Amino acid sequence: MKSLAWTKLQNSLLFRLGGMIAAITLLAILGMSTSWMVAETTQGSGQAINIAGSLRMQSWRMASIHQQLVHKDDPLQRTRLEQAITQFEQDLTSDSIQSVLPTDANGSLRFTYEAIQTHWQQNIMPALQIISASSNEELLSAIPYFVDTINYLVKQIEEATEAKILVLRIVLGVAVIGTLLMVLLSIYLIRNILVNPLKDLLSLTDQIRRGNLTVRSGLKGEDEIGYLGRAFDLMAEDLFKLYRDLETRVEQKTEELTRSNRSLDLLYRSIIQLHGISPSREVFYKVLKDAEATLGLGVGTLCLKGDHDKQGTVIATTAPNQQSPLCLQMANCEECQNTKTVGLEPATQSGRPIIRLPLTNTDRHYGLLAIDIPADKQAELWQLQLLEALSHHISVTLASEQRIEQNRRVALLEERAVIARELHDSLAQSLAYMKIQVSRLRMAIQNPATAHEVAEALEELREGLHCSYQQLRELLSTFRLRMEGADLGMALAQTTAEFAERGDFPIQLDIDLGVLHLTPNEEIHLLQIVREGLSNILKHARAQQAWVSLKTQDTNKVELLIEDNGIGIQANASLHHYGITIMNERAQALGGKLVYYARPQGGTGVRLIFTPHQSSSSTPMTVEIPYAA
């Protein structure tokens, strides 16, 4: 058993190829390892050569500075000499030079380096530290030999580096030659045992591709190629058996793909027509016509029925005479629209079968979609599924149209409620006040002795009419107001600019809502409070400047400040001015409270604090509105 397994392993292509790859890998690893070790020993040699070479220039430089100090003692030159000595010692003992020195204490390179260190410690450095003519002469006589020794050290480092590089070249050359030989041998073996048999199999595959399914490989070896040849023969035999049924299966798949493509195209066109514009009878007719052409079934009918309607209404039908088969076969409209009897299965009454599909969305029934099936045809599953998807899209379209219409009605009712409230809070109260004054005037006219009361009542009526006219203009401005782009900052900027121009004084606007976002209702209330506050300033404050601030607090609340530097709060304001009442009502609608106070610098301030609904972020804005000259 073991002999059989070993024989099988020897015949394996993987075993042979693995041996070749292992030999090539071993040669590559040996070459790279040796090269890496040699490269590690040469690392830093270039830097060591540069540093050692710089020691020659530093030696002459120190000798030059010492000679200058002999002729003239200069503290700056002494400092430079000390720095040069320190730098020389650091370079001489640097890690780069130490790394290239051999570990052998008897080596020539280490002997030269130690000689340089000894000469530096015993001769050069003591002579540099003594500033005298005699020490300068000793230094100048010792420097040439010292520099020659450094030159010899640099030469030895270069020779050692070149020797290591030569070893690296030899190792790399041997590794490359050995690898090339092994690669050539591997290519030869792979060509004979793998490439040529595979070429033969490829040629046979090409013949099979051309339709010749009778070819056979004839490979009988015990390796993987032999196994592959026998498998190839079995595959050719199976292909020969399957080829006879291939064309039929291809035709079936092609028909299914064509049908799927037509179905997707129908759904796409239907969605574009239903959701592109507000659907009408013509749109629904086009959808039904496309469905009839795509499905290949009979006449399509779309019938809608409201919740409180007794009879349904045929919106569109593809019948030539516009008489739907659904209405001809179904005697009872309520039974036809009954959602319990509507389904995907054909329902036969007194004629041909009809598929009836409900138009429902979120438990809301809008009507049904009916398709007449000819007597010589039968509805398939894919047709039923496509009709169900089409009915769903029609239901979504109808639901969307109803929601849009309902939103329009709600918006209209809300707008009317706002107008009624504004009229009630301003003009209605002013007119009620003037009605009282008219009654008072009538009584005063009947009594000639109260002529002064008549004059007083007429004056109050005149003021009331003037105030009502101003309130009417304010209401007209309010009703024409638009929040363009849902930007409260721009609306406030336009408002402050308007009142700054009307009042001929500057108004500073400061907005910083941070991460808070106001709802449209909150924005409208804030804008109206600001307009009413600025209107009061314009009418009563006699101010030279005003400030409007809208900011957030640490508790996620919004603070609105409206201040001026006018005459301050007056207790004798006329009773028919309702600005403060309107502002208080709007503050209550926001869930906040208005506070009126006198500014320490003079004038009046109004503060509103409320908690808004939080949403997306907004950016701060500070605007200075100049008055119109």
Summarised one tens digit per residue, pLDDT across range 29-47 is: 877 777 777 666 666 667 7
Give the residue with greater pLDDT, 254 vs 100: 254
Q: What is the pLDDT of residues 111-136, one digit of tens each?
A: 888 888 888 888 888 877 777 778 77
Q: What is the DSSP letter of 449?
A: G
User: What is the average pLDDT value for the chain, to the nearest integer?
Assistant: 75
Q: What is the pLDDT of residue 510?
A: 92
Give the residue with greater pLDDT, 275 vs 540: 540
* Residues shown for the chain: 629
Q: What is the pLDDT of residue 59?
A: 82
User: The domain spanning residue 567 has which CATH number?
Assistant: 3.30.565.10
Give the residue with greater pLDDT, 279 vs 351: 279
* Element at 595 (helix H, strand E): strand 593-598
Asked whether residue 573 is assigned to any structural domain, the reply reads: yes
pLDDT at 623 over 70: no
pLDDT at 522 over 70: yes
Asked whether residue 412 is assigned to any structural domain, the reply reads: no
Average pLDDT score over residue span 591-610: 90
Q: What is the pLDDT of residues 296-354, one digit of tens each?
A: 777 777 777 776 666 677 778 877 776 676 666 665 565 566 655 555 445 444 456 77
Q: Would you list the DSSP string of 294-340?
A: HH--S-EEEEE--TT-SS-EEEEE--TTS--HHHHH-S-HHHHH-TT
Q: In percent, how much of the chain has pLDDT > 90?
A: 4
Asked whether residue 477 is assigned to any structural domain, the reply reads: no
Residue 532: partners with Cβ closer than 8 Å, 6 or more residues away: 579, 582, 583, 586
In angstroms, rounded to a whole number, what is the distance separating the alpha carbons of residues 197 and 231?
14
Q: What is the pLDDT of residues 493-507, one digit of tens each?
A: 888 888 888 888 999
Q: What is the pLDDT of residue 561?
A: 93
Q: What is the pLDDT of residues 386-437, one digit of tens each?
A: 777 777 778 777 777 777 777 777 766 666 666 666 666 566 666 776 777 7
Q: What is the pLDDT of residue 217?
A: 79
Q: What is the pLDDT of residues 457-470, one digit of tens each?
A: 777 777 777 766 66
User: Which of 147, 169, 191 lies at the terminal end of a domain, its last residue?
Assistant: 191
In angstroms, rounded to a whole number, what is the distance separating the alpha carbons of residues 597 and 600?
9
The pTM (predicted TM-score) of the whole model is: 0.39
pLDDT at 218 over 90: no
Q: What is the pLDDT of residue 79?
A: 84
User: Which of 191, 226, 246 lies at the terminal end of a domain, its last residue?
Assistant: 191
Kindly list the distances between the CA atom of residue 274 and the CA atoms of 163, 265, 269, 397, 599, in Å, as whole numbers in the listed order.
86, 14, 9, 6, 62
Give the residue with greater pLDDT, 5 vs 611: 611
Give the residue with greater pLDDT, 571 vs 583: 583
**236-246 in b/e burial notation, b at 16+ Cβ within 10 A?**
beeeeeeeeee
Q: What is the pLDDT of residue 607?
A: 93
Model confidence band, residue 574 (pLDDT cutoffs 50, 70, 90): very low
Asked whether residue 7 is assigned to any structural domain, the reply reads: no
Q: Count other C-beta atoms under 10 Å from residue 469's C-beta.
A: 12
Alpha carbon of residue 284 to chain centroid? 39
Which is nearest to 576 in space by CA: 450, 459, 476, 479? 459
Q: What is the pLDDT of residue 450?
A: 64
Backbone angles phi, psi at 222, to 5 degrees: -95, 5
pLDDT at 611 over 80: yes
Which is nearest to 540 in space by CA: 606, 478, 476? 606
Asked whether residue 307 is assigned to any structural domain, the reply reads: no
Average pLDDT score over residue span 85-93: 81
- Give SS3 for 131: coil
Q: What is the pLDDT of residue 486?
A: 46
In angstroms, rounded to a whole number, what is the distance separating the alpha carbons of residues 365 and 281?
19
* Element at 526 (helix H, strand E): helix 520-536
pLDDT at 194 over 60: yes
Give the residue with greater pLDDT, 571 vs 363: 363
Asked whether residue 205 is assigned to any structural domain, the reply reads: no
User: The domain spanning residue 66 has which CATH number?
Assistant: 1.20.120
Model confidence band, residue 560 (pLDDT cutoffs 50, 70, 90): very high
- How many separate domains does the chain show? 2
Model confidence band, residue 593 (pLDDT cutoffs 50, 70, 90): confident
Asked whether residue 551 is assigned to any structural domain, the reply reads: yes
Asked whether residue 41 is assigned to any structural domain, the reply reads: yes
Model confidence band, residue 488 (pLDDT cutoffs 50, 70, 90): confident
pLDDT at 604 over 70: yes
On whether the CB atoms of residues 239 and 213 are closer than 8 A, the answer is yes
pLDDT at 547 over 90: yes
**472-481 in b/e burial notation, b at 16+ Cβ within 10 A?**
eebbeebeee
Domain of 144, in residue numbers? 14-191
User: Which of 191, 226, 242 lies at the terminal end of a domain, its last residue?
Assistant: 191
pLDDT at 242 over 90: no
